[in-house]
Amino acid sequence: MRVVVVGSGIVGAAAGYALARAGVDVVLVDSGAPGRATSAGAGIVCPWSSRTDDDPDWYRIAVAGAEHYPELLAQLAADGETELGHRRVGALCLVTEADAEQRLHTVAERAAKSPAAGEVELIDGRRARELFPPLGHEGPAMRIPGAARLDGRAVRDAMLRAAARHGAQLVEGTAELVADTTVRGVRVGDRFHGADAVIAAAGAWSPTLLEPFGVHVRVTPQRGQIVHLRLPGTATADWPVVLPQSRHYLLAFDDSRVVVGATREDDAGFDHRVTAAGTAEVLGEALAVAPGLADATHIETRVGFRPTGPDSRPLLGPVPRLPGLIVANGLGPNGLTTGPYVGTVAARLARGVAPGLDLSPYDPLR
């Protein structure tokens, strides 16, 4: 059996890795276009604190994504891949005195059903500042010990290297789908790659791949600008993820680096630029929460196009009108939480194996 995976971001890389480990002949195609979401995204794995509590189907797959990571990390370690920027550092959700008890009740109830979350506790502002020294927060915070951070680029690249060791072929270029009444494969330049199944995991670029065949996937690019700062000489490796009440965030890595983000720009198209307004928004939000970052050094600003769908749920599943085509897309701002799990489910579908969950809420053509 041969499967072509179009797109080698976090979803495509996971699909390719799972297929290659299962002994499938895999071709991974990626255009290398600037603005791929995985290359820019900050890796936060903490679905339990999400306020998307009106959509249990989103929450179900997000928790499955978080709980999939230990298995993935063990597989990668067995394949010699250990440098992933992954650490279980916990998260601090900043709350007010007025909503602290209600938020704690909701999150603790969720965490009790998910062993990966750990035991949630309410701490005071002083303790929160000890854990993340730049904070200026005076109120309470929820601490979720099971939350983790990771380097999305590193995890993706590790999966691609490991997939190649298992025999996957990596091809750079723009894929064009080849199909008649069923999927036949893809063409990249002047070369045809035949396949029994094609996984469309090309993120915000998927409509270009699929629309010539009447497959309309409702995915649009949402620009995110994410700022990387450095606090020279500061040991930041164990600092927790910080989740303010806004949709912005802060997380730290081992090299005195603090990542702050991010904008959610729905009308920027594929304009891959760092803008003054975006930088002002991100830094303004970060400094309002963590004034101790005022003297940090600006290292870089990353720009990525999140593939956003019609709602918060992924677009995941086969396309009945074109047998052999599987869509794995639409993860929006949750790509690094759910991406490896979604890619693994797509790999099962390509192999004709039961996906392990009810896919009806994630219909890719909804």
CATH of 2-39+153-218+311-362, picked from 3.40.50.2000, 3.40.50.9100, 3.50.50.60, 3.90.1150.10, is: 3.50.50.60
Q: pLDDT-based confidence at 19, cuts 50/70/90?
A: very high
Residue 61 · residue 72 · CB < 8 Å: no
Confidence of residue 171 (pLDDT cuts 50, 70, 90): very high
Using CA atoms, how far apart are residues 63 and 124, in angstroms rounded to an integer? 27
Torsion of CA 292, 293, 295, 296, to 10 degrees: 150
Identity of residue 142: M
- 247 band by pLDDT with thresholds 50, 70 and 90: confident
For the chain, the structural domain boundaries read 2-39+153-218+311-362, 88-146+220-308
Residue 72 near residue 343, CB atoms below 8 Å = no
Give the pLDDT confidence score for residue 51 in this predicted structure: 75
pLDDT at position 168 over 90: yes
Residue 323 near residue 245, CB atoms below 8 Å? no
Matching residue, tokens 């750079």: 172
Backbone φ and ψ for 296, nearest 5 degrees, come out as -70, 155
The mean per-residue pLDDT over the stretch 18-47 comes to: 95
CA distance 236 to 274: 26
Q: Is the pLDDT of residue 181 over 80?
A: yes
What's the rounded mean pLDDT across residues 130-150?
97
In tens, the pLDDT along 39-97 reads 898 899 999 998 755 799 999 999 999 999 999 999 999 999 999 999 999 999 999 99
Do the Cβ atoms of 219 and 206 come closer than 8 Å?
yes
Which CATH number fits the domain 88-146+220-308, given the four candidates 3.30.9.10, 3.90.1170.50, 3.10.50.40, 3.40.50.1220? 3.30.9.10
pLDDT of res. 98? 92
Residue range 11-27: mean pLDDT, rounded: 98
Q: What pLDDT, on the 0 to 100 scale, is given for residue 52?
A: 59
pLDDT at residue 335 is higher than 70: yes
Over residues 117-143, mean pLDDT? 97
**pLDDT tens sequence across 266-304:** 999 999 999 999 999 999 999 999 999 999 999 999 999
Q: How far apart are CA 157 and CA 115, in angstroms?
A: 28
The structure's pTM equals 0.96
Share of the chain above pLDDT 90, in %: 97
Task: Report the DSSP beta bridge partners of residue 148.
Answer: 45
